Amino acid sequence: MAEIILAGGCFWGVEEYFRRTDGITATVVGYVNSDIPNPTYEDLCYGKSKAAEGVIIEFDPEVISREQIVDLFYKIIDPYSYFRQGNDVGRQYRTGLYYRPGDEALKDFYEADKQKRQSQSTRKIWVEVAPLENFTEAEEYHQQYLVKNPGGYCHIPLPNKSEK
């Protein structure tokens, strides 16, 4: 198994979108690159942490590639929005692709992919590419939130697996 760590606005929809994607084996939502130890959801909501809502996605590279996941990621976010996705506004809703420190190949892939996309647009892409400094798992009620609360708000259309 392999992993990818990303932030695409509210983590509920991002997690559920990828959970419905063939080849995804596990997901965990949490707080990426906090400037305080062990942030909570309330810390993000009240601006006490600079963390982004993110998702660690485990996947089977024999079923889906990292490149395919990144393509899907860019399809479900608005890469031109600064600290905003859908109705959600604020630093915690920024978009990003993260790599483990020392994984220069992944950093280079993310940066080259972003540069290619940027060269095809006149608008600035606001997806951050950054090392993963820390990840704090979100509270249990956030894990698979849209499974537990199927009517919950989501800025991402959620297709069935067969629709992708």
Instruction: Provide the annotated active-site residues.
Output: 10
What's the rounded Cα separation, in Å, for the pair 88 and 126?
Answer: 15
Tokens 């600035």 belong to residue: 124
The DSSP result for 87-111, as a single string, is TEESGGG-EEEEE-TT-HHHHHHHH
Q: Are 51 and 39 in contact (CB under 8 A)?
A: yes
Report strand pairing: 24-32 vs 52-59: antiparallel
Find all residues with CB under 8 Å of 149, minimum gap 6, and list them.
Answer: none
Tell me the C-alpha to C-alpha distance, in Å, between residue 156 and each of 2, 15, 17, 87, 146.
24, 10, 8, 11, 12
Which residues are 55's β-sheet partners? 6, 29
